[in-house]
Amino acid sequence: MTEPYDDGLVIAGVTLRSRLFIGTAGYPTQSIMADAVAASGAEVVTASIRRVSLHGHGSDTVRKLKGYRFLPNTAGCETARDAIMTAELAREALDTNWIKVEVIGDRDTLYPDVVELMEACRHLVDDGFVVLPYCNDDPVICQRLADLGCAAVMPMGSLIGSGMGVANPANLELICRRAGVPVIVDAGIGTASDAVIAMELGAAGCLLNTAVAKADDPIRMASAMRYAVEAGRHAHCAGRIPKRGRAEPSSPQLGLVGS
């Protein structure tokens, strides 16, 4: 029996109709950002707490996106201690216990520091947070994060902001099959076809920012991403045909006129 598309994405008991999570940074204007978020159909928006907590620009983001579920992140943190402190600030500033945990170990690649990430997630789960960690595309690490009690795992498709798409589809498919919690592909999505591939591999959702914010037309790209995520989910649930090394006619060969 095939799985319906509209079963909803459930995270920590919350059912989301949209499987697209979208960021709020880097848009040409705040008005374009708000229109792009609306065009994406997303219910969850991400933002760096360090930016949102500032007066002016950050508070304007919160005002313009009133009614959306905020997923604050710990972007810029390099230690578990900093990530924990930032998460606590986010909970106070935005009145939410949802947190995307980022602990960066290398400034050039923005790869996660797995040791510090695990420590931060363990502490935050114990403190009652709904933890969604940004991590590398390692099935073992994703499984350990799930075992810690993370509500979802967010493996990178490829380097943050690179637009390279899903660099390691075999790993991502394995993670999706084994994780036991929703898998949200985070980082590297560059265009709609990348989102389709991620969803076809079994991802529960996609999180993206740069692909929309830096597009020539962010609003149109946001709309494209909305339908790409839906199309990929439909295709995954429908089940693709097997690949073959030979042609196989779609019409029967028997009973042809003149045969």
Nearest to 94 by CA among 116, 122, 123, 74: 74
What is the distance between the terminal CA atoms of the chain, rounded to a whole angstrom? 39
Mapped onto helix, strand or coil, the DSSP state of residue 26 is coil
Phi and psi at residue 47, to the nearest 5°: -160, 145
How far apart (Å, rounded) are the C-alpha atoms in residues 50 and 27? 17
- Which of 44, 36, 43, 28 has its CA nearest to residue 225? 36
Sign of the torsion angle spanned by Cα atoms 205, 210, 213, 214: negative
- Pairing mode, if any, of strands 14-16 and 9-11? antiparallel
Rounded Cα–Cα distance for residues 171 and 114 (Å): 17
- Report the C-alpha dihedral over residues 235, 24, 223, 213, rounded to 10 degrees: -100
Residues 51-65, buried b or exposed e (16+ Cβ, 10 A)? bbbeeeebeebbeeb
Q: Which residues are catalytic?
A: 100
Non-local (6+) Cβ contacts of 236 within 8 A are: 199, 200, 201, 202
User: Where does residue 122 rank: exposed (0-12), middle (13-18), buried (19+ CB within 10 A)?
Assistant: middle
